[in-house]
């Protein structure tokens, strides 16, 4: 009786209706935003520990909402995934990134690969290989200028199909990165069999460096194993000089985070690939 009372309260709770109304409005707005392309990409550099040079840029989508201004992915990617709109948004993102890469061809960023975040629905319900291949052809850009970031959770849905898919994308010459590594349930050997090139260790591990021993122990083990399997390791979410120092000592290959560079629109990227002062 208590439970049904709670449910009844929930159903007639004005806040519940308000949330539903907001969600329906957002979904409508998101649909229009995709049709009108209200999206812009920001780019965050990754830096090689040894050379201090920018090795790659991560493309991070933002919604330029007509009334509310620039919205981050946390405010709309979840809804896009639930509603399936991510399939069209994902195509749009691939196109925006490839347009940018083509524009960069003769500048400082010509030849610097850009990594694209792909969500599990895009990966499992679309022929993502075909999407990428046709975008590369349409914009006349090389496969080596694009990388794909995929979380471990995207692979558990159908590991066999995922492995085939990844193999096909890899065969194009596109590098594959595991995103948020350490937060899912995959083993390194499984990831190795799926032909990943790079592990991006989740920022929750980076934030523990210098705080307790666990962060360091985790990175040390991952780096040793990843290297023996021929994969590079990127630390995400590097925010302090101390974290950067520890990661360099641990032979981490690349760093990414606010301490080095923040995500910015293409025109605000540093005009040199050499790491200078902290952004």
Strand 54-65 with 69-71, pairing: antiparallel
Which of 56, 100, 117, 154 contacts Ca ion by CB under 5 A? 117
- Distance between CA 257 and CA 177 in Å, rounded? 17
Q: Which of 116, 128, 139, 149 binds Ca ion (CB under 5 A)?
A: 149
- By CB under 5 A, the count of residues binding Ca ion is 5
- Tell me: does residue 147 bind ligand C2E (CB under 6 A): no
For position 120 contacting ligand C2E by CB under 6 A, the verdict is: no
Which is nearest to 206 in space by CA: 192, 193, 222? 222
Which helix H or strand E contains 108, and what residues bound it? none
Query: What minimum distance in Å lies between the beta carbon of 265 and ligand C2E?
Result: 12
Phi/psi at 230 (5° precision): 80, 20
- Residue 115 CB, shortest distance to ligand C2E, in Å, is 9
Nearest distance, CB of residue 58 and ligand C2E, angstroms: 7
Torsion 157-88-82-202 (CA) sign: positive
Sequence length of the chain is 279
Site for ligand C2E in 164-193 (CB under 6 A): 179-180
- Residue 124 corresponds to which tokens in the numbers above? 């499992």
Q: Which does 60 bind (CB under 5 to 8 A by kind): ligand C2E, Ca ion, none?
A: ligand C2E
113, 182, 215, 257: which one binds ligand C2E (CB under 6 A)? 257
Q: Is 254 in the site for Ca ion (CB under 5 A)?
A: no
Q: Which residues contact 47 (CB under 8 A, 6 or more apart)?
A: 53, 54, 55, 254, 255, 256, 260, 261, 275
For Ca ion, what does the binding mask look like between residues 164 and 203, x meaning CB under 5 A? ---------------xx-----------------------
Q: Binding to ligand C2E (CB under 6 A): which residues in 197-256?
A: 203, 237-239
Q: Does 152 bind Ca ion (CB under 5 A)?
A: no
User: C-alpha angle 113/115/120, rounded to 5°?
Assistant: 155
Q: Give yes or no for a contact between 105 and 142, defined as CB atoms under 8 angstroms apart.
A: no
Q: Which alpha helices (DSSP H) does the chain contain, by range? A: 2-11, 14-36, 77-83, 86-104, 120-125, 128-138, 159-172, 188-193, 203-206, 213-228, 241-249
Minimal distance, residue 151 CB to ligand C2E, in Å = 7
Interface contacts to Ca ion, rule CB under 5 A: 117, 149, 179-180, 236
Interface contacts to ligand C2E, rule CB under 6 A: 44, 60-61, 72-74, 77, 93, 117-119, 179-180, 203, 237-239, 257-258, 263
């Amino acid at each position: 009786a208590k439970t049904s009372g709670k449910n009844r309260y929930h159903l007639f709770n004005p806040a519940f209706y308000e949330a539903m109304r907001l969600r329906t409005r957002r979904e409508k707005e998101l649909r229009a935003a995709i049709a009108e392309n209200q999206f812009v990409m920001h780019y965050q550099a990754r830096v090689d520990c040894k050379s201090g040079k920018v090795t790659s840029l991560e493309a991070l989508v933002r919604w330029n909402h007509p009334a509310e201004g620039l919205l981050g992915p946390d405010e709309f990617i979840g809804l896009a995934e639930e509603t399936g709109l991510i399939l069209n948004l994902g195509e749009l993102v691939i196109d925006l990134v490839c347009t940018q890469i083509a524009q960069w061809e003769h500048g400082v960023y010509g030849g610097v690969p850009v990594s694209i975040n792909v969500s599990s629905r895009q990966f499992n319900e679309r022929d993502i290989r075909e999407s990428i291949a046709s975008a590369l052809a349409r914009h006349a850009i090389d496969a080596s200028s694009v990388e794909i970031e995929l979380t471990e959770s995207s692979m558990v849905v159908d590991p066999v199909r995922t492995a085939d898919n990844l193999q096909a994308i890899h065969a194009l010459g596109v590098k594959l990165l595991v995103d948020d590594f350490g937060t899912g349930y995959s083993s390194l050997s499984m990831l190795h069999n799926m032909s990943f090139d790079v592990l991006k260790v989740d920022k929750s591990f980076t934030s523990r460096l210098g705080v307790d021993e666990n962060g360091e122990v985790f990175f040390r083990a991952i780096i040793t194993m990843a290297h023996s399997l021929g994969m590079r390791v990127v630390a995400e979410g590097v925010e302090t000089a101390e974290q950067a120092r520890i990661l360099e000592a641990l032979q981490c290959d690349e760093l990414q985070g606010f301490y080095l560079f923040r995500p910015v629109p293409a025109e605000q990227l540093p005009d040199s690939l050499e790491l200078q002062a902290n952004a």
